[in-house]
Amino acid sequence: MTSETPLALAPATGAADLPSITVTLSQLAKMIDHSLLHPTMTDDDVRAGLAVAKECNVATACVKPYHVPLAVQELAGSDVQVCPVIGFPHGNSTTEIKVLEADAAAAAGGSEIDMVVNIGKVLSGDWDYVAREIRLINEAVQKHGAILKVIFENDYLQDEHIVRLCTICSDLDVAFVKTSTGYGFVKQPDGAYNYKGATVPHLKLMRQHAKPSVQIKAAGGVRTLDDLLHVMSLGVTRIGATATVAILDQARARGITNVPTTVTFKPIQGATATSGGY
């Protein structure tokens, strides 16, 4: 990557009022879990996506469990990690099956494991069940040297549920708490389905109530460089994205290099419905 002096930002109306952040291109890439989770993705689609993850040198490629061996093979020779998902996307499997799935995924080469909580149990307030499940899955992956990210699926939850989950995950020393799967569609009064994914209020709430050692992953709706810079400013250290190439191309176009570069960003506006799937 180039180390030349960053390009100056073009003046714009109100630009002086925009927030700013100092970043590098490699730092942005390592913020990204490149998502390869859509149910229609073929093996060839996943191979192409893994090539993108490797070329962009992101943090991880996020894959379905049966694609772990393929991801390990295709990412060999890079420092891009393999991130399988467990109980995805609805978290409905029994604890025993989720533990088995997580153990197998970590044993096969998954170094970061993203699990979905049992959403019905969260909404039922069965916190002993929820905490036990997270603990057992965390123990299963840690014995292989892997780390755990716990997906809340915030669209289905109230603030009190999110706060309680942050407390449980903090008590259990999980590595990350994560907003969404990207597939948590909520039925609206008119019969349509949509979802919000990662929202600024929820990210602030999670950062406030998860202890400092527990990192925050924003997934669902972070699709532009401005979105990424904004969530970084809130304390987010990882995002799930399919728009990886577009985000990094936008960064280069804004003059971001591997020399620390200060850029302004347009804050995320009000929560709006999106098309899902990150």
Catalytic site positions: 114, 178, 217
Residues in the chain: 278
Show Cβ contacts of residue 155 under 8 Å, excluding neighbours closer than 6 positions. 180, 184, 185, 186, 195, 196, 197
DSSP for 188-241 reads -TTS-EEB--S-HHHHHHHHHHS-TTSEEEEESS--SHHHHHHHHHTT--EEEE
* Encoded tokens for 262: 């200060």
* Encoded tokens for 253: 């176009």
Phi first, then psi, for residue 89 (nearest 5°) are -100, 0
Separation CA 151–CA 118 (nearest Å): 10
CA–CA–CA angle 26, 29, 35 (5° rounding): 165
Chain-centre distance of CA 178, in angstroms? 6
Show Cβ contacts of residue 188 under 8 Å, excluding neighbours closer than 6 positions. 194
Strands 238-241, 261-264: pairing kind = unpaired
